[in-house]
A and B are shown apart, each in its own frame.
Chain A
Amino acid sequence: MKAGSNLEKILEKGEFAVTSECGPPKSANGDVIRQKAKLLKGKIDASNITDNQTAIVRLSSMAAATILLQEGVEPVMQITARDRNRIGIQSDLLGASAIGIRNVLLLTGDHQKFGNHPYSKGVFDLDSIQMVQMVKQMRDDKKFQSGEEMDFPPKLFIGAAENPFADPFEFRVARLGKKIMAGADFIQTQGIYDLERFEKWMAGIREKGLHKKVHILGGVIPFKSAGAAKYIARKVPGMLVPESLIERMKKASDAKAEGIKIAVETIASLRKIEGVHGVHVMAIEWEEKVPEIVEKAGLLPRPAI
């Protein structure tokens, strides 16, 4: 065991893992996290805590992850390269480990232009691949990024993201390879709607044997409405949504139920793909639907390890 997290145990045992996402509030109200934790407890193996997603200031991911821990939900603490340099990130990694956080997910982060402080200075001291490498070096070699040694390394299961729908497509397999080489233990993908393209990407992953070196969790984002489907398709960078799904959402009499149905179908398809070891359900500001989706997908009860 590298970090001994629940997520790591589930994946190492060969169980199909379920993670979800929990967005901290745009306020100091920790109860928002506590309520979300109550919804998620026992229904998932771990939940991501986003780090100022879309570059909007929110309650910090470490604080929110700590609240999740207190509530009995295992956190995956997200850290972006946008807001902190290598000093700040390493400091947070040590702090997170000391608190008992055992999973981290390292991301480049959305550009600050998208958020509520577009005049801010983006840090981007490291990129996501360099961040992954840094965490692995800290954990396994007991060394800071600078090479300086430490006596008590952080215990962290290392996650990274990949977007099979971004371009250049041919590079997306190679980029995953780089993240594995850097030390990623698990990968959570961008939300999957275009299954054909995802399968093509997975075929590329298997061809290089990468699926045996890392745990891939397929991303699933349920549509809340036809408008949301259109928004994701047109406005969110790096997303591919087939027109047929947008049509399905438009025609549905109960759009919310249809959105969940599509998510459940996607999970069923993902479970059949060799090399997919779990799903990452991102019900954005719709966390209360996660238990329903997981249940309908036939993934309850979660294995207790």
Chain B
Amino acid sequence: MIVGERKPIEEILEMTKQYEKLYVAGCGSCVTVCLAGGEKEVGILSTALNIAAKKDGRELKIIEGTIERQCEKEWVREMKNQVKESDAVLSMACGIGVQVVAELYPEKPVFPALNTTLMGYPTQHAIWLENCRACGDCILHLTGGICPVSRCAKQLMNGPCGGSQNGKCEIDPEIECAWALIYDKLKATNRLDWMSEIQPPKRWDLAGSGGPRKTIKEEEVIA
């Protein structure tokens, strides 16, 4: 899923302090699950903004609301009335949701309350590990189900660099060396031979270097 974390309150105040009516909009999907931008976090942020406004002697009226998904227009259209009533929207969705809201309500200022941090999964409660970069050319079938594009600090394709020691990455002893994990997995599954073959340079055009990407499922597109 997509994981995010709330921006510092100071940064949010700086973006929004000139507005008197603020719609704090949560998203009920990924960011609810990762405890960053769901109904509960909308409530917490709204309270913090109210306290700050009171302290500064500013008028502030907050509309709270959380929709199912801010990344789909159908749901975002349901925000219409609250958007109309407010001076600005403070979206607690990921960067995708913020942009869909901004696109659907061109006359309204829309601000991000979160930093979208990664695509990954929780290794334990409240800790999320990045494990996909959407590189557009998945090689997990070769690498034992462990992604070197997202999990190797140098995105190497031919095994660990000289900084891999005791299964840890050179940049941080808390980070596991992806290639050490791949090595162990391939060894356990009798596929270690692959590690001795030279893997060709990756096509980074598919990973975003080729310009903004679009995925089209031709047969489903309604002309």
Per-position binary interface string of chain B over residues 153-171, scored 1 when its CB falls under 8 Å from any chain A CB and 0 otherwise: 1111111111111110011
**Contact flag A167-B164 (CB < 8 Å), given A108-B154, A178-B159:** yes
Query: Is A168 touching B153 in the complex (CB atoms < 8 A)?
Result: no
Query: Is B170 touching A127 in the complex (CB atoms < 8 A)?
Result: no
Cβ–Cβ < 8 Å partners of B184 in chain A: 168
Alpha-carbon distance A266/B153, docked complex (angstroms): 33
**Contact flag A167-B201 (CB < 8 Å), given A124-B154, A127-B154, A178-B196:** no
The chain B residue with its CB closest to the CB of A132 is B198
Instruction: Report if B75 contacts A (CB, 8 A).
Output: no
Cβ–Cβ < 8 Å partners of B183 in chain A: 168, 171
Query: Is B200 touching A130 in the complex (CB atoms < 8 A)?
Result: yes
Query: Is A167 touching B154 in the complex (CB atoms < 8 A)?
Result: no
**Contact flag A124-B163 (CB < 8 Å), given A174-B196, A181-B198:** no
**Contact flag A166-B164 (CB < 8 Å), given A125-B201, A130-B200, A238-B170:** yes
Point out the residue from B153, B158, B162, B167 that lies within 8 Å of A130, measured CB to CB: B158
Alpha-carbon distance A58/B215, docked complex (angstroms): 42
Query: Is B198 touching A174 in the complex (CB atoms < 8 A)?
Result: no
Instruction: Report if A133 contacts B (CB, 8 A).
Output: yes
Cβ–Cβ < 8 Å partners of B198 in chain A: 129-130, 133, 178, 181-182
Point out the residue from B153, B158, B200, B201 that lies within 8 Å of A111, measured CB to CB: B153
Instruction: Report if A117 contacts B (CB, 8 A).
Output: no
Alpha-carbon distance A38/B157, docked complex (angstroms): 40
Q: How far is the CB of B51 from chain A (nearest CB, A)?
A: 33
**Contact flag A127-B153 (CB < 8 Å), given A171-B195, A182-B198:** no
Alpha-carbon distance A108/B153, docked complex (angstroms): 11
Which secondary structure characterizes the binding site on chain B? Answer: loop
Instruction: Report if B180 contacts A (CB, 8 A).
Output: yes
A residues 143-174 with Cβ under 8 Å of B? 145, 161-163, 165-168, 171, 174
Per-position binary interface string of chain B over residues 93-125, scored 1 when its CB falls under 8 Å from any chain A CB and 0 otherwise: 000000000000000000000000000000000
Cβ–Cβ < 8 Å partners of A110 in chain B: 163, 170
Point out the residue from B155, B159, B165 that lies within 8 Å of A124, measured CB to CB: B155
B residues 132-155 with Cβ under 8 Å of A? 153-155
Query: Is B195 touching A190 in the complex (CB atoms < 8 A)?
Result: no
Alpha-carbon distance A177/B197, docked complex (angstroms): 9
Cβ–Cβ < 8 Å partners of B165 in chain A: 165-167, 237-238
Cβ–Cβ < 8 Å partners of A128 in chain B: 158, 161
Query: Is B195 touching A163 in the complex (CB atoms < 8 A)?
Result: no
Alpha-carbon distance A161/B163, docked complex (angstroms): 12
The chain A residue with its CB closest to the CB of B197 is A178
Cβ–Cβ < 8 Å partners of B154 in chain A: 81-82, 108-109, 111, 122, 124, 127
Cβ–Cβ < 8 Å partners of A130 in chain B: 157-158, 198-201
**Contact flag A113-B163 (CB < 8 Å), given A81-B154, A126-B201:** no
Alpha-carbon distance A111/B161, docked complex (angstroms): 10
Query: Is A124 touching B164 in the complex (CB atoms < 8 A)?
Result: no
Alpha-carbon distance A184/B115, docked complex (angstroms): 44
Q: How far is the CB of B178 from chain A (nearest CB, A)?
A: 12
Cβ–Cβ < 8 Å partners of A81 in chain B: 154
Instruction: Report if A224 contacts B (CB, 8 A).
Output: no
Instruction: Report if A34 contacts B (CB, 8 A).
Output: no
Instruction: Report if A250 contacts B (CB, 8 A).
Output: no
Cβ–Cβ < 8 Å partners of A162 in chain B: 162
**Contact flag A171-B157 (CB < 8 Å), given A133-B198, A178-B196, A238-B164:** no
Point out the residue from B156, B163, B166, B167 that lies within 8 Å of A127, measured CB to CB: B156
Alpha-carbon distance A145/B202, docked complex (angstroms): 12
A interface list, Cβ under 8 A from B: 81-82, 86, 108-111, 113-114, 122, 124-130, 133-134, 145, 161-163, 165-168, 171, 174-175, 177-178, 181-182, 190, 237-238
B interface list, Cβ under 8 A from A: 153-167, 170-171, 177, 180, 183-184, 195-201, 204
Closest 3 CB pairs of A and B: A163-B162, A237-B170, A237-B163
30 A-B contacts, Cβ less than 8 Å apart? Answer: A82-B154, A108-B154, A108-B161, A109-B154, A111-B163, A113-B153, A113-B171, A114-B171, A122-B154, A125-B201, A127-B156, A128-B161, A129-B199, A130-B158, A130-B198, A130-B201, A166-B165, A167-B160, A167-B166, A167-B177, A168-B183, A171-B160, A171-B195, A175-B160, A178-B158, A178-B196, A178-B197, A182-B198, A190-B162, A238-B162
